[in-house]
Each structure stands twice: as C-alpha cells, then as structure tokens.
Amino acid sequence: MATDPEFEFTALDAIRQSGIVIASDGAEYLKIKEFNPIDATSNPSLVSHALSKPEYAHIFTDAVHYACSTLPTASLNEQTDLAMDKLLVQVGAEILNIIPGRVSVSVDPRLGYDYHAILTKAKSLTSLFNSLSPPIPPSRFLIKIPATYPGILAAHTLESLPSSPIHTNLTLVFGQVQAVACAQAGVSVVSPFVGRVKDWCDARARLGLDDVGHISDERKKPAIETHPGLNLLRDIRNAYTQLGTKTQIMAAGFRSVDELVEVGRHGSKGGPDLVTLPPELLDGLRRREGVRADSTLSDSISPPWALPTSTIPVYFNPTSPDPDGTLFENALKEEGGIALDKVPEGLEKFSRDARKLEGRVRCALEVLREAEARGKSQMGVGQTSTSDACENGQLDRTTTTLVAKKGLEGIEWVEQTSSLNLNLCAGVQEGVIAVGQCLGQSVKVI
C-alpha cells in the first residue's frame, strides 16, 4: 500500500496539523507502520479477520499453547477464556512495538451488560499485559468497553481503583447522553461512531422522521456540513468543554475521506481529540491534497447545546452511582433512541465474530487436550507426561493443519483452516489424527 505522496501537503497532514491525533484501527499491525499513527484500536471483528491470515497465525498458535501450558489441569472453558485473552493482548503488544502511544483492547462484547464480568475481564487483560516481558504499563493501553450503563459503571470502578487505575475507552457511543455519562464517570476516552449515527438518521429521514421520532419536513439527505455524526462530535466537544472533563473524544466509524476532511477543518477544538481509522481511509487521506485548518472555525461554532455547565444533566453520579441506571436509560429514550437501537446491533455483530474466533480456539484446544490424553495413556502411569516433556524440550516440533467441519454454538464451520505449531511425539501425533477423525476433521500431521 505504501506509495510516494502525490501532494506536498496531504489531507492526512492537515488533520495532524489541526491538532487531531491519528490512531490506526485494525489488528493487521503489519499494515499500519507506514502511516505513523500515535494510538491504535482494534475490535473482535478485526482481530478475528487478522488471525485468519497466515502472517498472523502464529499469534493464534502461541495463545493456544500458552493456555495449555499455563492451565494444564483447567477445564476447556477456562483454557479457552485464557487463550482468547492472550491473543488479544498479544495483538495489542505487537501494535505497541510500532506506535508510540496507546492501544485499545476490547473486552468480550458478549459481556456488554454484565458489570461484574466486565470487571473480571478487564483485570485479566491488564494482568496479561503486566506479565509480558518487559511488562506493558497501564499508561500504554486502554480497556475498550461498550458504553452500556453496566459498562459505564464498570469503567468508573476501574478508573477509580486506588492503587493502579485501569484506563478505559468506552465504545459504541451514539449520542450525547452516553458521552456525558462517560465523562461524568471519569472514563479516559469515548469513541463516538460517526458513520453509524448518520446511517440511523438517514434511515429515519427516509421514513420522514426527525431525530426524536416526529414527522419531519426535511427529508433530503443532509450535506456534509450538517452531517449528524459530525454534529454529534461538535456537540460532545461543547459539552466536554463546559464540564471541564479530561475525557478525550476518539471519533471512530468514518465512512469517507470527505467526512475526515470536514473534521480536520474544525480541528480538535471543534471536534475530536483523536480519530481512529483503518488503513484504507489513512491511504485515502494521504492521496488527497490537504487544506490547512481554519483556526476561526472552531471559535465560530454555535452548538445547539450551548448551556451553562450547571444545566447539563447528570446521567451518572460518581459519588452515588445508580446501580440500575434508570435515569440513564430514560434519558436514552428521550434522546430519540439511537443508542437503544445501535448499541445492541453493534454488540451482536462483534459478538458473532467473537464466537467465531472462540470456536477456532476451542477446536484447537480440544485437539490438544485429546492428544494429551491419548499420549498419556500410551506412555503409561509413572512416565513423563506430554506437558512435562514439552516444558523440558523433549518433543519434536511439528506443524498440524486442521481443516474443520464442525458445528459450535449454532455456527457451522466449513473448511476453516488454522495452522498450529504443536510439540508432539509420535504417540501423540497418532492421537491427534484419531481425535480429528472423531471430530469430523481432516488432520494432516507433517
């Protein structure tokens, strides 16, 4: 993708000059170095896609082996959970070898409405970052959590830990209520989804509805200057300025270079602190001639929510949080319901990809566990176990390719390939082949 810039001053340069920090959005870290991002983000969909490619398969392999060796006597579920966490952290660590800033790593999206499970997962991910050599300090990663009320409550708890706070990035933000609640909860970063806000508003416009569900006379597609997703960024900036919050705005989910050019015109004072972009949009910006930011634009903005700080509603009370979030949920309804529509939709998409990746991990672990059991039975009681032999370096390293056709949690796997580097002796190799036959898999041991 690397090319010589066509212009001396590109649209990517313009965004940087406007004071907005560039973050890369993706798990394929080999693609991001050329764009020199400061921060980076990923999500379960991006990680799942990346690890299906040969150049990133070693991360999958290493995570599976790590779970087996770290929890040799644990249940399959426990090993799967650890392997899933490990591969997310390892992707994050690889990205941190490239960028100077922070990487955002997601909790399992299926935990989006479970306060206690989010806390546990965030602490597990943090522990794995700390266990790396050298350890990665908390200042270099953000735990990415859905901006549901349980997610915001969990983020508040994590950011408030007395000894070592865990910093968070609240994602799937679609409206002012979520953004203000996150700031009031003291989260480090919020990620509004610009493109999906526009999608929702365009869909309602086609039905003749305005942003609160009433019949609207304005049914035409809005121009870039009145883009509802970009307007949301400006409204959040205005509210955050009035609140005096330290919470940063990391705009996400852009669909076009034109949207980003408009964001760059207003700069960080009139919009986000950061934008997180996939390589395709970063390259598009690099191929567009840049226009230097107009410093007067951010000062001339007159946001619709220009109210005194005292009148900004409290959606999250940090001194006495509402355990049920009733006020927050009611405010989402009054706002028009965009978050009530789009958050579950986003969680479901991410959850599908998380289940997919989990299925691959579980399948690999099942083969390893069954191979281990068969190897032990062949070696007999009192002889060196497969785990001990692996730790002592006594087993030859081979490569096993699994082509799986297996149903798991309602998902059908068809010709799904994972390359696994397995430490196997001859007896265990035979076990792998037998287990593969039992699972309906074609297994080739090289």
Burial class (CB in 10 A: 0-12, 13-18, 19+), 221: exposed
Q: What is the rounded distance in angstroms from the CA atom of residue 145 to the CA atom of residue 128?
A: 17
221 is catalytic: no
DSSP 71: S
Q: What is the rounded distance in angstroms from the CA atom of residue 395 to the CA atom of residue 386?
A: 8
For residue 337, what are its two tokens?
């319901």
Closest CA to 338 of 182, 193, 181: 193
Q: What is the rounded distance in angstroms from the CA atom of residue 420 to the CA atom of residue 142?
A: 30
Helix (H) or strand (E) holding 377: helix 338-379
352 to 84, 117, 213, 227, 359: CA distances (angstroms) = 14, 18, 30, 30, 11
367 to 386, 422, 435: CA distances (angstroms) = 14, 10, 6
Closest CA to 249 of 260, 265, 261, 237: 237
DSSP 310: G
For residue 30, what are its two tokens?
């080999």
- 169, 192 in Cβ contact below 8 A? no
On the CB side of 320, CA atoms within 13 Å amount to: 1
On the CB side of 116, CA atoms within 13 Å amount to: 0
Q: Where are the beta strands (DSSP E) in 149-236?
A: 168-173, 189-192
Bridge-based pairing state of the strands 397-408 and 442-445: antiparallel
SS3 state of residue 194: helix
Q: What is the rounded distance in angstroms from the CA atom of residue 206 to the CA atom of residue 210?
A: 10
Provide the residue type at 38 as one letter. Answer: I
Closest CA to 366 of 397, 406, 415: 406
Bridge-based pairing state of the strands 141-146 and 442-445: unpaired
Q: What is the rounded distance in angstroms from the CA atom of residue 79 to the CA atom of residue 65?
A: 10
- 163, 228 in Cβ contact below 8 A? no
Catalytic residue, chosen from 31, 121, 144, 342, is: 144
- 154, 117 in Cβ contact below 8 A? no
* Active site residues per annotation: 144
